[in-house]
Amino acid sequence: MSLIELNGVEKSYQMGEMLVQALKGVDLSIREQEFMAVVGPSGSGKSTLLNLIGTIDEPTAGSVSLKGQDVNKLKDNERTELRNRTIGFVFQRFNLVPVLTALENVSLPLELQGIKAAEARKRALAALEEVGLAAQVRHRPDQLSGGQQQRVAIARALVTNPSLVIADEPTANLDSDTSQKIIELMRNLNTRHKTTFIFSTHDQRLLGHVDRLVHLQDGRIISAPGAHS
Ligand SMILES: Nc1ncnc2c1ncn2[C@@H]1O[C@H](COP(=O)(O)OP(=O)(O)OP(=O)(O)O)[C@@H](O)[C@H]1O
């Protein structure tokens, strides 16, 4: 079974008088454990696509299914619950809570799920060790480099054991060496945990590790070869 299935997905935004068609009929099936990149020029619809896959936005037409469930047919609270249980997010600007330490940032999603503080800290510590930040757990975001902050964000996305991690331009604010290392880290975690990863990028040099490349242009997929092709 596919983890995610998009059928005939369209997305339009009303901008005053103008209708912007961000996605114009996208069919896409994403399997468990895939490591997939979405590329395309600015404005081609990458963020729109990731937001739909992440169930944080709804299509204007067509359907998005996650684990066999048509997301549009769920009530708001059911969709939020499915999202919290299934998907982790990594952002371009890291989006860490500035006043919290790395450990507290990574513990937070677990505590929000009602997991006791001691258990949450234990799991957060293990996640931070996995991304190579054992020595920085007590640092606040402003005491970490950009690459380290993104590692904290990746640990935070993974600590709840999601099936899928969505990363919208996770390396946009990083230099090219650090960007490579972040993609390699995501690839390692993908292999080790069998978590599906979908990330968007403008950087062709980061595509060496991917199973699949989805190329968007003007709201349409222009190539989406199968895994390992
Ligand atoms: N909330 C919105 N309201 C109106 N138009 C939007 C909105 N979000 C996106 N768009 C438009 O939809 C189209 C696709 O935008 P999207 O952000 O998905 O592209 P992108 O490929 O992620 O671009 P970039 O690489 O610059 O981030 C663009 O024309 C954009 O202006």
Q: Give the pLDDT confidence score for residue 228 in this predicted structure.
A: 45
pLDDT of 227 higher than 90: no
Q: How far is CA 141 from CA 8, 47, 125, 181, 227, in A?
A: 41, 25, 16, 19, 36
- Listed in sequence order, the residues at least 6 apart from 129 whose beta carbon sits closer than 8 Å to its beta carbon are none
What is the ipTM metric for this complex? 0.96
DSSP per-residue string spanning 158-178: HTT--SEEEEESTTTTS-HHH
CATH of domain 4-97+145-223: 3.40.50.300
- With a 6 Å cutoff on the Cβ, whether 19 touches ligand 1 is no
pLDDT digits (tens, 9 = 90+) for 24-40: 999 999 999 999 999 99
Instruction: Return the ligand 1 atom nearest residue 216 CA.
Output: 21
The percent of residues above 90 in pLDDT, for the chain, comes to: 92
Nearest CA to ligand 1 atom 16: 45
- Residue 159 burial (10 A CB sphere; 0-12, 13-18, 19+): buried
Distance separating alpha carbons of residues 16 and 18, to the nearest angstrom: 6
- With a 6 Å cutoff on the Cβ, whether 25 touches ligand 1 is no
Q: Give the pLDDT confidence score for residue 223 in this predicted structure.
A: 75
Query: Average per-residue pLDDT in the chain?
Result: 94
Nearest CA to ligand 1 atom 27: 42
The percent of residues above 70 in pLDDT, for the chain, comes to: 97
User: Domains of the chain: which residue ranges?
Assistant: 4-97+145-223
